[in-house]
Structure 1
Amino acid sequence: MRVLAAGSLRRVWPQLIAHFPEAVETQFGPAGLLREHIASGEACDLFASANLAHPQALLAAGRAQSVAAFASNSLCLTVRSEVLRDGDDWLSVLTRDDLRIATSTAGADPSGDYTQMLFDRMGVAGEAVRKRALALVGGRSSAPVPAGRLAAEWIIHSGQAEVFIGYASYAALLREIAGLTVLDIPEPFNPRAEYGCAVMTAQGQRLADFLQSEKAKTILQNEGFLPGGAALTRPTKTNP
């Protein structure tokens, strides 16, 4: 079975597949770019995306057999600890002009899309932050994150920025890294990242069913993901 999967699933995926009885070959990448590859004819049995809109687009185009939502996520800030001032929170950090802010790339990577939604929800302050933000990962020409490194850790420790906006599923790991501080973003500012898969073949359907199982949900939540929807969406058939 061949799977194309969002890069944010890379760390949890081996744990999931260890409980699935079939052999799975997985290619990871930014979900927006993976969707483009599938739309252009690249074959796979299942596409696991960090944005439900990408599988739904493949379904609407007749490329997928069905769509299943299986998890969700949110955003957080990772900050170089030494730049924090007394009383700083997520909003004061983002609006400090002396700090460089890194994000993933909107359009190519859902993390970047959700970050743009965060800026939208911040109103006027968010527009100013949007203009300053640097899209450093997840794009067509972005430098790859070194193997075994987290994007936030690599960006900050390599001196490319002082702040990184990324998925909260990494928060527990990031909090264990010296020199980094993770700040939560409260609702209603924090977008909900909805993960979904596009089922391309009968083989893929079996994996989609597993991703919606209680075992898979437990694994995902233990790795920092939030619960997601469970309903399958299939193409609507009309009578001739």
Structure 2
Amino acid sequence: MNKIRVLAAGSLRLVWPVLVDAFEKQHPPLTVETLFGPAGLLRQRFEQGERCDLFASANVAHPHTLLQEGNALSVSVFTSNRLCLTLLPHLKARSPLDLLSDPNLRIATSTPLSDPSGDYTWQLFDRIEQQHPEVGNGLKKRALQLVGGAQSSPVPPDEVAGCWLLKTGQADIFIGYRSYAQRVEQDRAFALVDLPESWQIRADYAFAMCEAKARPLANFLLSPRAQEILQASGFDQIRKGHPLAL
């Protein structure tokens, strides 16, 4: 009765234990049990009967769908993220446009529809196409959807997807979340390159409170302490004026 079951986006895996530890210290005897995975696939599992008290997604669309279906009591945005490139150090001196335009470089992404990271990446390609005709559409054709899908090889639990793909020789560049920057930059075998602001896609994260017992955790995720933890881990502040940011 005191356990809150959470389905959470895989990109929260590194920061979530810190959040849960702070929450449990504030709210004994409540405990949190969490299953991580691509948010789109987790939503499917929930809709097929997986038990869930709180669903934490890397986008707003999946929680909002649960609300519309009558499977959630409320939805709130609690943090946000951005995209960047993870690559090998010798490539870092080149511009993002030069890197992504090079047909000799293998570009890896997450899987659209199954994982919001893939959806955001395809939005990025559309934005690039608007500014650099043929480049964005070319990226859609070249991109290797190597993680985040139902049939994708699982990323080892102690690995960051981009680093793992590069280390195992599956890609030269990975387009993923900037919240992994601290972890990536700790390893000199990899480098990180930010995208131009005019390309940038803002990834808002939202949770759906599916059962009333999750209300203490929902309130905590919006608290100054949780926001402090998220920002220290590389996530961005909640966007002011967002209709779901309480």
TM-score bracket, normalised by the shorter chain, equals: over 0.9
Give the whole-Å Cα distance in 2 for the aligned partners of 1:28 and 1:204: 17
TM-score, normalised to structure 1's length? 0.93
Root-mean-square deviation over aligned CA pairs: 1.5
Is 1:228 the counterpart of 2:238? The answer is yes
Give per-residue Cα distances to partners, 1:205-226, cap 9 Å, x unaligned. 2211100000000000000000
Checking the alignment, whether the CA contact within 8 Å between 1:67 and 1:232 is kept in structure 2 is no
Give the whole-Å Cα distance in 1 for the aligned partners of 2:213 and 2:239: 21
Residue 6 of structure 1 aligns with which residue? 9
Is 1:79 the counterpart of 2:82? The answer is no
Pick one of 137, 156, 167 that aligns with 1:127: 137
Instruction: Give structure 2 stretches of 5+ with no counterpart.
Output: none
Which secondary structure state, in structure 1, belongs to the residue aligned with residue 76 of structure 2? strand
Give the whole-Å Cα distance in 2 for the aligned partners of 1:113 and 1:5: 17
Which secondary structure state, in structure 1, belongs to the residue aligned with residue 176 of structure 2? strand
Give the whole-Å Cα distance in 2 for the aligned partners of 1:108 and 1:117: 15
Pick one of 42, 53, 57 that aligns with 2:65: 57
Residue 54 of structure 2 aligns with which residue? 46
Residue 19 of structure 2 aligns with which residue? 16
TM-score, normalised to structure 2's length? 0.90
Task: Return the offset for 1:85.
Answer: 7.4
Which secondary structure state, in structure 2, belongs to the residue aligned with residue 25 of structure 1? strand
Task: Return the offset for 1:147.
Answer: 2.2
Give the 5 Å matches for 1:155-170.
Answer: 155-170=165-180
Which secondary structure state, in structure 2, belongs to the residue aligned with residue 63 of structure 1? coil
Residue 187 of structure 1 aligns with which residue? 197
Deviates more, 1:127-136 or 1:34-43: 34-43
Task: Return the offset for 1:102.
Answer: 0.3
Give the whole-Å Cα distance in 1 for the aligned partners of 2:41 and 2:168: 26
Q: Which amino acid aligns with 2:19?
A: L
Identity of aligned residues (%): 50
Q: Which amino acid aligns with 2:64?
A: Q
Which secondary structure state, in structure 2, belongs to the residue aligned with residue 18 of structure 1? helix
Q: Which amino acid aligns with 2:107?
A: I
Which secondary structure state, in structure 2, belongs to the residue aligned with residue 146 of structure 1? coil
Residue 199 of structure 1 aligns with which residue? 209
Is 1:211 the counterpart of 2:217? The answer is no
Give the 5 Å matches for 1:104-183.
Answer: 104-123=110-129, 124=133, 125-183=135-193
Give the whole-Å Cα distance in 2 for the aligned partners of 1:232 and 1:179: 41
- Structure 1 stretches of at least 4 aligned residues deviating more than 4 Å after TM superposition: 229-233
Task: Return the offset for 1:28.
Answer: 0.3
Is 1:103 the counterpart of 2:109? The answer is yes
Which secondary structure state, in structure 1, belongs to the residue aligned with residue 22 of structure 2? coil
Instruction: Give structure 1 stretches of 5+ with no counterpart.
Output: 234-240
Give the whole-Å Cα distance in 1 for the aligned partners of 2:13 and 2:221: 15
Which secondary structure state, in structure 2, belongs to the residue aligned with residue 58 of structure 1? helix
Task: Return the offset for 1:60.
Answer: 0.8
- Residues matched between the structures, number: 231
